[in-house]
């Protein structure tokens, strides 16, 4: 940590003396580097030993925290300038920022939630009423399967095979795939199916998730629900797609092979799935003992 501070101080001195950078800019650069230094220290690394994926993870975390594009652009600019300085001074022979060639390289990174954040959101629905049981089941199933929100709300009773722990899903282009569900989601589905009978009352529907009038839950309705549960958990701007991203990230972080994750997500091209490999690193891998915390 002391060596990191020394390197930051030398870079700041260079900015002041040789570059003539304003004090406001110098202060912003110092804050960015100190924040990133703390991040690398938390990974058990230093500013000289971090790798590309550490940078990607830090930027993904900023985007999940809803940092503005301007803030991320400045952060990336700071890191690129810092590592160019370290190269020129002979402190390092590699530049981990080479991958960050422009805004497009990090804007396309998926925003995902940590397992702790997901757990906090899952705890928000009130299980003392049938609507709360329905909402908890939808959240559990989304995180357990990585379904698109349109696929989730489109599920029918007949798509479930709870004895086998799988469901049939019709994705983009009406392509059918079978997706494992996981024990926790199966348990909540059993609980919800009893609550669903009460919700339907005298109505009938083949749709899995319904309201009190027997109508299926719309995408817009579920977006509002998950956003509200995120707010209650203290996490702003949560979307259904973030749970899909979190599902893929946690699987790959724990060693699941890319092809299996591609099939579960319903990606026609594996290059679409490969973006998740940019947000995994050794720190995450060591944090989990299983492929999925709720499997």
User: Which residues are annotated as catalytic?
Assistant: 148, 172, 241, 244, 267, 276
> Please, which residues bridge with residue 176 across strands?
170
Q: Which of 250, 279, 284, 246 is nearest to 53 (CA)?
A: 279
DSSP string for residues in 87-101: HHTTS-S--TTTT--
3-state secondary structure of 290: coil
Q: Which of 271, 129, 154 is nearest to 222 (CA)?
A: 154
Give CA–CA dist 103/180, Å, rounded: 36
Q: Per residue in 172-191, is it b (16+ CB within 10 Å) or e — as a string?
A: eeeeeeebbbbebbbebbeb
Give CA–CA dist 139/117, Å, rounded: 13
Q: How many CB atoms lie within 10 A of CB 198?
A: 11
């Amino acid at each position: 940590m002391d060596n990191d501070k020394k390197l930051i101080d030398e870079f700041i001195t260079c900015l002041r003396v040789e570059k003539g950078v304003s004090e406001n800019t110098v202060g912003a650069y110092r804050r960015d580097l100190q924040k990133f230094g703390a991040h690398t220290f938390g990974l058990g690394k230093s500013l000289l030993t971090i790798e590309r994926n550490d940078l990607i993870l830090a930027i993904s975390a900023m985007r999940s925290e809803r940092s503005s594009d301007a803030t991320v652009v400045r952060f990336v600019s700071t890191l690129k300038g810092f590592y160019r300085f370290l190269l020129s001074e002979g402190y390092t022979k590699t530049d981990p920022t080479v991958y960050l060639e422009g805004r497009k390289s990090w804007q396309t990174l998926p925003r995902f939630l940590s397992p702790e954040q997901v757990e906090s959101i899952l705890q928000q629905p009130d299980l003392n009423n049938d609507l709360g049981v329905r909402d908890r089941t939808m959240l559990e199933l989304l995180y357990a399967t990585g379904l698109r929100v349109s696929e989730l709300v489109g599920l029918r009773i007949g798509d479930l095979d709870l004895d086998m722990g799988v469901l049939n899903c019709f994705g983009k282009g009406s392509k059918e795939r079978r997706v494992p569900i996981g024990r926790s989601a199966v348990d909540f589905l059993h609980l919800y199916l009893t609550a669903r009978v009460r919700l339907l009352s005298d109505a009938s529907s083949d749709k899995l998730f319904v309201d009190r009038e027997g109508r299926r839950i719309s995408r817009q309705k579920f977006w509002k629900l998950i956003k509200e549960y995120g707010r209650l958990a203290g996490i702003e701007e949560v979307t259904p797609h973030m749970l899909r991203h979190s599902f893929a990230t946690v699987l790959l972080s724990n060693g699941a092979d890319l092809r299996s994750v591609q099939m579960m997500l319903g990606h026609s091209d594996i290059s679409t799935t490969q973006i998740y490999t940019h947000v995994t690193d050794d720190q995450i891998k060591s944090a989990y003992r299983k492929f999925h915390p709720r499997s």
